[in-house]
Amino acid sequence: MNNLANGAAQQNLSPIRTGKLIVLFPITSLLDEFERIAGTIIENMLVLKKQSRLAVQARNRLLPKLMSGEIEV
């Protein structure tokens, strides 16, 4: 698309030139397989992010008590 943009002061895309582009789309079965794999990865990322956030909260609550001697390990 950058190669199709023209103009001296501001780059613009011509609707006529972009309308002539050939866009390839993968077959539905490939899209479904990608969504299945990527969806699992994204779900795992969200779970790990939540666990990390909870671990940070626990650390922030416990560390001052450990440092002050209020609780012992």
Residue ranges, the chain, pLDDT below 70: 1-11
pLDDT digits (tens, 9 = 90+) for 32-49: 999 999 999 999 999 999
The per-residue pLDDT for 10 is: 64
The per-residue pLDDT for 47 is: 98
Closest CA to 15 of 30, 1, 32: 1
The per-residue pLDDT for 36 is: 96
pTM (two decimals): 0.59
**Phi, psi for 12 (deg, rounded to 5):** -130, 145
The per-residue pLDDT for 67 is: 94
The per-residue pLDDT for 52 is: 98
